[in-house]
Chain A
Amino acid sequence: MAISRQDIEKVALLARIKVDEAQVTALEKDLSNILDLVDQLQSADTSQTEPMAHPLDAAQRLRADTVTETDNRAAFQAIAPSTENGLYLVPRVIE
């Protein structure tokens, strides 16, 4: 299966990854190869196979509902580009 330039541009936009013209051409080839591989896998009979959610054959361990974290705001905000009154400031995001 081949992937189109438009698909690549759309996915790049959604992932906020900047790709130039030349990269799109290279990605078109690489990603199409990967999708070909997926096509091959699709031909395997999986009707008896349980879908896998994780490569490890284990279950999640749960933790008790107890507060273990303390306030480290000062340390975190020391490396933030901009803060004010305890808030992280970012470029305006309102629609």
Chain B
Amino acid sequence: MQWDIVIGLEIHVQLATKTKIFSGTSTAYGAEPNSQASAVDLAMPGTLPVANEQAFKYAVMFGLAVDAEICRRSVFERKNYFYPDLPKGYQTTQLERPIVGPGHVDVELADGSTKRVRIHHAHLEEDAGKSLHEDFHGMTGIDLNRAGTPLIEVVTEPDMRSAEEAVAFARKLHGLVTSLGICDGNMSEGSLRFDVNVSLKPAGDETLGTRTETKNLNSFRFMEQAIHHEVERQMDILEDGGRIVQETRLYNGDTQQSRSMRSKEEANDYRYFPCPDLLPVELDDAFIEDARSRLPELPDARKARFQSDYGLTDYDASLLSSSARMAALFEETVSHGKDAKLAANWLLGELSARLNSEDRELADCPLTGGQLGALILRISDGTVSSTGAKKVFEGLWTGEGSDVDELIDAKGLKQVSDTGALEKIVEEVLAGMGEQIAQYQEADEKKRKKLMGGFMGPLMKASKGQGNPKLFNEILKKKLER
């Protein structure tokens, strides 16, 4: 049987405010456990929440960026459940009147087409603390530093039809919130977390099937794996005549397995009601216009500029503009290295491949745009060959050196571009290759090109790999066609 895959996402975006949404406690990552958990965050009796203006500004900026309606009068609700990482016994969130209404994001897919994903809404809420289950003699350790960190939860319509589409959307959203500067985008620290809703229906059917939710995926790779895994799991059940149970599942990226998380039905009865501790938040035109004036260049506009200013292809421009960090690294590299196309090739080729193979994010990239730019400059002025440049890159990456020119010298990678010296090598090599020379001179233009390779090998060998291949080529042609 043929099945349609239906995917919707919920994305928790940690807002990059200095303090929590309802208290003046710092949200800095990595502090000593519970050193950033104040009386309000701990739900001490008698405390009251006071809302952080910046969180609203960031939420409005997001809303404007996805072309959504902004709710002028938004209301907070209490979502009641008991868990030790939530000291109040409820999460302060929004249900009936979320701050961001329906909007949309256009996503470019690998085949060049564009897919519109509708945003159902985005609401403001507080994050919970962290539970640590190891090493406490059968107890659970609670760190409430994260409790009260402002989040927007972005909820999409079930508009995605494959894992690839879902990941493309997720990447686009990541690029959007980091470009807006409202989220640091650091997925390994949990700044952006994805919940994936997946259901299947017989191909062409109108009615949606029963969905499951896989929670807290914190890398694009795990997200893609989790969707493939869940689609297969549901397909197996349905094709065996079974039924899908609506449930929350957890995916373990290390074992590539998933399991059901919440079995009890009443756990989902949150008894929402308007929070009596918080008045409705009214946002006027001035507030919204101020948020609009803070909107920086967004990925789509940046992409167009990269194409017109740097002459990049549609594909390169799209990859380099999608994340704020990559775009900044590219522009810094070009400002030092001049050649934009070469810079694009190195960022999308060598650098991206290296990050992928080590499963690192660009934020952890050990190279600066200045270093990459210096390297690009040395490639374009012929100081190093592209093979040599890869060795310099390696040296920069591993921290063997930090200065491109010093690394080129230390590794003896400087290309010989002295025509006199190169000419001498060519003469010496050609002296022992009479047969090949004759062959070349008899060949037609097309064949000649091929035969050139036969000379380049011995030339590079004779120059210990340091001869400038471009110059070798020129000299060789002159000598052979004499």
Contact = CB atoms under 8 A, between A and B. Distances in A.
A16 interface: yes
Could you say which of A82, A86, A87, A90 has the most chain B C-beta atoms within 10 Å of its C-beta?
A: A87
Interface in A62-95: 62-69, 71-73, 76-77, 82, 84-95
19 contacts: A13-B266, A14-B266, A53-B97, A53-B274, A58-B279, A59-B282, A63-B24, A66-B18, A69-B19, A73-B34, A85-B141, A86-B32, A87-B141, A88-B84, A88-B141, A90-B142, A92-B140, A93-B83, A94-B140
B446 interface: no
Interface in B215-248: none
Contacts of B131: 93-94
Nearest to B31: A71
A60 interface: yes
A64 to B, nearest CB: 6
Interface in B235-274: 261-263, 266, 269, 271, 274
B142 A95 contact: no
B339 interface: no
Interface in B37-57: 37-39, 42, 44, 50-56
A30 B131 CA distance: 39
B365 interface: no
A51 B132 CA distance: 42
A88 B75 contact: no
B82 interface: yes
Interface of A: 10, 13-16, 51, 53-54, 56, 58-69, 71-73, 76-77, 82, 84-95
B454 interface: no
B141 to A, nearest CB: 4
B93 interface: no
A59 B73 CA distance: 9
Nearest to B35: A71
Contact of B278 (A60, A77, A82, A89): A60
A10 B266 contact: yes
B234 to A, nearest CB: 22
Contacts of B18: 65-67
Contacts of B274: 53-54
B37 A76 contact: yes
Contact of B261 (A10, A90, A95): A95
A16 B282 CA distance: 35
Contacts of B26: 67, 69
Contacts of B38: 69, 72
A89 B142 CA distance: 6
B133 A68 contact: no
B3 to A, nearest CB: 30
Contacts of B80: 14-15
B39 A72 contact: yes
Sorted nearest first, the 4 A-B pairs with minimum C-beta distance are: A68-B24, A87-B141, A65-B54, A62-B53
Contacts of A93: 83-84, 131, 140
B24 A86 contact: no
Contacts of A64: 53-54
Nearest to B274: A53
Contact of B34 (A69, A77, A82): A77
B230 to A, nearest CB: 19
A94 B52 contact: no
Given A53-B75, A87-B132, A93-B83, A60 B142 contact: no
A87 B279 contact: no
Interface string B1-20: 00000000000000001110
B412 interface: no
A64 B140 CA distance: 35
Nearest to B82: A16
A45 B141 CA distance: 52
A77 B42 CA distance: 11
Nearest to B97: A53
Contact of B56 (A58, A62, A76, A94): A62
B33 A65 contact: no
B276 interface: yes
Contacts of B83: 93
B281 interface: yes
A70 to B, nearest CB: 8
A69 B84 CA distance: 22
A32 to B, nearest CB: 19
B37 A73 contact: yes
A87 B75 CA distance: 33
A65 B182 CA distance: 13
A90 to B, nearest CB: 4
Nearest to A90: B84
B97 A87 contact: no
Nearest to A86: B33
Interface in B74-113: 75, 80, 82-84, 96-97
B261 A54 contact: no
